[in-house]
């Protein structure tokens, strides 16, 4: 059983929302927060401590990288935020430089746990973190398409008036413009969605749902400047799965070593997540079109990764 010590690197909108969500849901026994803006961190710590009488007790503190040696999981949300109209890939150069510094500071302090990356572009930065950290691939994970898959479930539930908890399905590929829903493995109450939705409506409905999910972040950023509640909830649930050894299924960005015919890339695929991080990759029997979409998405990521490696 893990001691449930969390270190959060990055105290912006996503990071602070994640810390608050962990507090209110009882995830973790200890949360240390690291950010270049130490005053903001101290303010957040004081604000979070005020909530302790109403929630599960935990130690919340302004951390240093030296504290990483005691962490079970380090969650990285640090980086430049996506602006209206900007793609995640356009953040790459700036955030790669930040990640290189963050990972170096984490690893030089004896860290031996699991790293969960949420900074964008998350797939490329997850692969970069894996290569820089020297940790085994099961212990370097990206939030990947976990949020996108939640958006898929929410949109299906809204469209067909069903409880989203009865909807199961995955978005695979890049957490970005080349992502795609896997309709062959999407169910409502256990029934394949292709049986639930009348055949005459499927093409139009599925295209509309996929587009809405893919562009959700652009819509939110245009309206309120940033997305943070959805990703914070996703990160909290992923953290819980690790700390509780849940062996729960999510679509996450993980390093592939032959799965789906892909190598040397981190990309969103279904996995089981537990105390050791990646428990196993769930290799779905994709139809030829979906397999091509996944491979095309992987090529985009590999081409962009090469830019920061060079």
CATH number at residue 212: 3.90.110.10
Residue 289 shares a structural domain with residue 201:
yes
**What is the CATH classification number for the domain harbouring 107?**
3.40.50.720
Q: Which residue has the tokens 């490696």?
A: 309
The per-residue pLDDT for 171 is 98
pLDDT at 1 over 50: no
Residue 132 shares a structural domain with residue 150:
no
Catalytic residue among 175, 247, 255, 263: 175
d(CA 55, CA 272): 29
Residue 109 shares a structural domain with residue 41:
yes
Residue 168 shares a structural domain with residue 284:
yes
d(CA 197, CA 26): 38
The per-residue pLDDT for 111 is 96
How confident is the model over 194-249, as pLDDT tens digits? 999 999 999 999 999 999 999 998 899 889 988 899 999 999 999 999 999 999 99
Largest CA distance in the chain: 59
Q: Is 175 a catalytic residue?
A: yes
**How would you label 237-258 residue by residue, b for 16+ Cβ within 10 Å and e otherwise?**
bbbbbbbeebebbbbbbbbbee
The per-residue pLDDT for 169 is 98
What number is the average pLDDT over the span 42-51? 97
Q: How far apart are the first and last CA of the chain?
A: 40
For 90-215, where are the alpha helices, taking DSSP H only? Answer: 92-107, 122-133, 146-160, 193-196, 199-214
d(CA 106, CA 115): 10
Domain end (from 142, 172, 194): 142
Residue 127 shares a structural domain with residue 175:
no
Residue 175 shares a structural domain with residue 294:
yes
Domain end (from 142, 162, 190): 142
What number is the average pLDDT over the span 27-55? 96
Residue range of the domain that includes 54: 5-142
How confident is the model over 83-134, as pLDDT tens digits? 777 776 778 888 999 999 999 999 999 999 999 999 999 999 999 999 999 9
Do residues 266 and 255 make contact, with C-beta atoms less than 8 angstroms apart?
A: yes
Instruction: Give the tokens for residue 279.
Output: 């428990």
Q: How many distinct structural domains can be found in the chain?
A: 2
Q: What is the pTM of this model?
A: 0.95
The per-residue pLDDT for 239 is 98
């Amino acid at each position: 059983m893990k001691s449930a010590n969390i270190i959060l690197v990055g105290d912006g909108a996503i990071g602070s929302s994640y810390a608050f969500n962990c507090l209110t849901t009882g995830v973790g026994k200890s949360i240390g927060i690291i950010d270049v803006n130490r005053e903001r961190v101290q303010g957040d710590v004081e604000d979070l401590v005020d909530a302790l009488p109403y929630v599960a007790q935990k130690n919340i503190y302004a951390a240093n990288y030296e504290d990483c040696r005691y962490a079970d999981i380090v969650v990285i949300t640090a980086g430049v935020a996506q602006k209206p109209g900007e793609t995640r890939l356009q953040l790459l150069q700036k955030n790669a430089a930040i990640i290189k510094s963050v990972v170096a500071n984490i690893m030089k302090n004896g860290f031996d746990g699991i790293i969960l990356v949420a900074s964008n572009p998350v797939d490329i930065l997850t692969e970069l973190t894996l290569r820089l950290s020297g940790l085994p691939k099961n212990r370097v994970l990206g939030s990947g398409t976990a949020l996108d898959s939640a958006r898929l479930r929410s949109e299906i539930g809204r469209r067909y008036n069903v409880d989203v908890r009865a909807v199961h399905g995955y978005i695979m590929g890049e957490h970005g413009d080349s992502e795609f829903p896997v309709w062959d493995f999407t169910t409502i109450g256990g029934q394949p969605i292709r049986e639930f939705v009348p055949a005459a409506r499927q093409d139009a409905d599925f295209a509309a749902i996929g587009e809405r999910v893919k562009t959700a972040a652009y819509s939110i950023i245009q309206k309120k400047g940033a997305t943070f509640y959805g990703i914070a909830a996703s990160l909290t649930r992923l953290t819980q799965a690790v700390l509780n050894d849940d062996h729960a299924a999510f679509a996450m960005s993980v390093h592939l070593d032959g799965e789906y015919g892909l190598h040397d890339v981190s990309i969103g695929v279904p996995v089981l997540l537990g105390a050791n991080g990646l428990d196993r990759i769930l290799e779905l029997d994709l139809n030829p079109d979906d397999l091509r979409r996944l491979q095309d998405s992987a090529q985009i990521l590999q081409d962009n990764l090469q830019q920061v490696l060079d």
